C-alpha cells in the first residue's frame, strides 16, 4: 500500500488548481501539503486555539490564507473554489456525555461544500483506524468507528444525489514514528487534549497505560509508531 505522502503526489492532477479551500485546518499539517500544489489555499476552522497553532506552523507559506469561519455557513460565493479538501472532518462535537451523530449537520456542511466547488477531495481515517480505539481513552462515550462509517455512507449518498462522480478512490496510511516511549505517550495525550487533559498524575498514568495497551494490541508499541488507515476519494460534478 502506498503511503499518504505518495498519494499526495498521485492526486497532483486534481490538486494543481488556482484556488483551493480546506475545511478544518487544525494544526495546518494538511494545509501545508495542499499548498505545495494549489496556487492559493484558503483554510477555515472554527477554533481560535487551532488558528494560533496553524498560524505559527504556516508562517512561511505566502499562498495560504487562514480564516475563522463555520463550515456550515461559509461566506464564499457559489463555485468560488476549484477544489475543496476535507481531512478528518467527521468530528464535530465529540465531548458529549452521550454518543450521537448529527447527520443533519453533516448533510448541511456537505451542501455548503457542493455550493462552493465542483471538485471535492476527502482524505479521512477509516473505521478501522487505531485512532478510533485511542479516542475512547479521552471520551469513552464516543464511538468513532461508527461515526466514520455513518459519515462516509452519507458522503457517498449525498455526492451521488448531487450528481458528483467518484473519479478516484483508494486506501493509504499515515505513519508517525517516535524516538522513545515518552515522546510517543506525550504526543498521544496531546492529540485529543481538546477533549480531555488528565487532571492528576495518577489519571495521566492510567491514560498512558490504556494508550499503550491499545497500541500494543495493534502491534505498534514495540516499533514506537502509530499508523492509521486512511481512505481518499475525489468527486467531480457531472454537468
Ligand X SMILES: C[S@@+](CC[C@H](N)C(=O)[O-])C[C@H]1O[C@@H](n2cnc3c(N)ncnc32)[C@H](O)[C@@H]1O
**Chain contacts with ligand X (rule: CB under 6 A):** 24, 26, 29-30, 44-47, 50, 70-72, 87-89, 91-92
Select 8 or 92, whichever has its Cβ closest to ligand X.
92
* Distance in angstroms (rounded) separating the CA atoms of residues 74 and 71: 6
Least distance (Å) between residue 226 CB and ligand X: 13
Inter-axis angle of helices 181-191 and 130-138, nearest 10: 70
Place of cell 456542511: 109
Select 68 or 238, whichever has its Cβ closest to ligand X.
68
Select 70 or 183, whichever has its Cβ closest to ligand X.
70
Helix and strand totals (H; E) in the chain: 9, 7
Burial of residue 193 (CB within 10 Å: 0-12, 13-18, 19+) is exposed
* Distance in angstroms (rounded) separating the CA atoms of residues 206 and 114: 44
Select 47 or 168, whichever has its Cβ closest to ligand X.
47
Contact 106, 156 (CB under 8 A): no
Give the residue nearest to ligand X (CB). 24
* Distance in angstroms (rounded) separating the CA atoms of residues 137 and 198: 11
Least distance (Å) between residue 54 CB and ligand X: 9
Least distance (Å) between residue 87 CB and ligand X: 4
Least distance (Å) between residue 205 CB and ligand X: 26
Select 63 or 72, whichever has its Cβ closest to ligand X.
72
Least distance (Å) between residue 203 CB and ligand X: 23
Amino acid at each position: 500500500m502506498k503511503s499518504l505522502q505518495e498519494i499526495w503526489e498521485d492526486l497532483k492532477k486534481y490538486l494543481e488548481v488556482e484556488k483551493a479551500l480546506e475545511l478544518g485546518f487544525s494544526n495546518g499539517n494538511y494545509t501545508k501539503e495542499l499548498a505545495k500544489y494549489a496556487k492559493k489555499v484558503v483554510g477555515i476552522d472554527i477554533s481560535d486555539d487551532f488558528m494560533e497553532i496553524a498560524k505559527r506552523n504556516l508562517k512561511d507559506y505566502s499562498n495560504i490564507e487562514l480564516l475563522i469561519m463555520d463550515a456550515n455557513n461559509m461566506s464564499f460565493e457559489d463555485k468560488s473554489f476549484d477544489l475543496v479538501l476535507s481531512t478528518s472532518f467527521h468530528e464535530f462535537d465529540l465531548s458529549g456525555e452521550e454518543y450521537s451523530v448529527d447527520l443533519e449537520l453533516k448533510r448541511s456542511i456537505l451542501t455548503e461544500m457542493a455550493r462552493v466547488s465542483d471538485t471535492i477531495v476527502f482524505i479521512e481515517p477509516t473505521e478501522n483506524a487505531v485512532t478510533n480505539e485511542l479516542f475512547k481513552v479521552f471520551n469513552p462515550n464516543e464511538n468513532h468507528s461508527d461515526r466514520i462509517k455513518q459519515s462516509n455512507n452519507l458522503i457517498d449518498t449525498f455526492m451521488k444525489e448531487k450528481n458528483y462522480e467518484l473519479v478516484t478512490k483508494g486506501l493509504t496510511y499515515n505513519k508517525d514514528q517516535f524516538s522513545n516511549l515518552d515522546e510517543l505517550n506525550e504526543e498521544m495525550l496531546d492529540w485529543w487534549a481538546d477533549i480531555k487533559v488528565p487532571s492528576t498524575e495518577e489519571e495521566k498514568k492510567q491514560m498512558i497505560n490504556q494508550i499503550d495497551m491499545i497500541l500494543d494490541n495493534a502491534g505498534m508499541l514495540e516499533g514506537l509508531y502509530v499508523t492509521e488507515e486512511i481512505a481518499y476519494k475525489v468527486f467531480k460534478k457531472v454537468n
